[in-house]
Structure 1
Amino acid sequence: MTAAVPRTRLVVGISGASGFVYGARLLELLRTLDVETHLVITRAAQLTMAHETDYKLADIVARADVYHRADNVAASIASGSFRTLGMIVAPCSMKTLAEIACGASSSLLTRAADVTLKERRPLVLLARETPLTLAHLRNMLSITEMGGIVAPPVPAFYARPASLAQMVDHTLGRALDLFGLDAGTALRWGETDTDSPICKQHPSITKEHA
């Protein structure tokens, strides 16, 4: 008897770097794509949330299908036998990046990232820091050599974003591309889709790229 194929799952980590909005908005986009989300938020991320947004933890938890406490290392996502599409950390702090780079699983978030790498699944880290030290760069190199993808949330100015929300959506759209998921929020160079949300927001760009 053939086992049922599980609904598409993605692990979403939110760490303490500036840019909590990336993780919050990502959960919204994944819900529209009918992707089952497994969320883990570090304690530092909760502090950043309080400084940068008006969200409460309950608001973010409600956007996920499953919420795992960062200290619950016995959670499903801590095991490679739990099948997922991969994992994205948005945003990813340099502390979290360093732990992943050296395989130090001090929390469920970094353990889940370690599992993602060992199972050869896509791991995407929206690394947030500037300027970068040599230690940061070496850690990024280590992660890349292990098969992870370091994707700093760099704005694409060719999209002529009119708001911070549009910049966030474009970045997340490109990040989701790495999992084969199309959120419809990224303006694609050389492509014209007048029905896409981003093109409706920028009709002049659509005409220019046609």
Structure 2
Amino acid sequence: MARIDSHQMRQLLNVYFISGSSNVSTNLPDVLTKAIAGGITLFQYREKGSDALTGNEKLALGRELQSICKKTNIPFIVNDDVELALALDADGVHVGQDDGEVRIVREKIGDKMLGVSAHSYEEAQQALNDGADYLGIGPVFPTSTKNDTEAVCGPGFISTLREKGIDAPIVAIGGINIDNAHKVAANKADGISVISAISKANNPALAAKRLATVFN
């Protein structure tokens, strides 16, 4: 498989849904199916937290979610867990600053998609030098979904990165919903990544559809 080009990557980042079993109050495969129907463009399996699945249960849910994505041609990305991504033959991996050297992750996954979280110009540039296909920038707004986040940077930080020459695909994350997503788009992000805006929505399909209008 050839390495994805930046134009394709930008499109895939438009509505980037992230979730694990603990982020939904119902059934994650059902929520994912509805979110895909609503127009998400990429899915990241992020199984974290005190009540997260582990071992064979984590693997089994990953397989089920990946199968749903494959049927609808939605890329399936695994958060942090490179070994799980390889075991599932996922489409890619997303790693944070504390999840190992990006260069080594790139060597392990070959041409699969690689996203890296960055919170400064220096981190962003280093991630790209080491092989990242896209950057996850945030939190752009306050969020309660993650308890290990950096300080809020605001959507304007993405414009600052652009002004400093970072032209790579960027997806914004952190506290994004239908009411503030347009601020992210206005600051030159290629897409928005959300957890609870879809996972906790009464109607995940409608939530995804409304978010999709921001970049269409």
| TM-score relative to the length of structure 1 | 0.38
Larger radius of gyration: 1
| TM-score relative to the length of structure 2 | 0.37
